[in-house]
Amino acid sequence: MSKVVIYSSDWCPFCVRAKQLLASKNVTFEEIRVDGQPELRAQMAQKAGRTSVPQIWIGELHVGGCDDLFALERAGKLDTLLQA
């Protein structure tokens, strides 16, 4: 199973939705909370090219945010990425 990393914020409803989708698939993920952590948020922004949360990686692939994760699910591609 691919390693999943999600940069998130406690107060972000999109982060909650993304984590719920992953949890529904029994995916263990590493969560990096950026609340009050400007250096972590800057690290995320440099890696992702985006400043919004969540930012999600499956293995080395930057998936994007919550909408991107759900788009992969709707397209039937998420499970394949997670199993890689």
Q: Tell whether domain 4-83 is in CATH 3.40.50.11710.
A: no
Contact 10, 33 (CB under 8 A): yes
Contact 31, 6 (CB under 8 A): yes
- d(CA 27, CA 56) in angstroms, rounded, equals 13
- Position 57 pLDDT exceeds 90: yes
Q: What is the mean pLDDT of residues 33-44?
A: 96
Q: In this structure, what token pair is assigned to residue 20?
A: 């719920």
For residue 81, name the pLDDT band (cuts at 50, 70, 90). Answer: very high
- Position 1 pLDDT exceeds 90: no
4-36 per-position pLDDT tens digit? 999 999 999 999 999 999 999 999 999 999 999
Burial of 52 (0-12, 13-18, 19+ CB in 10 A): middle
Q: What is the mean pLDDT of residues 32-59?
A: 96
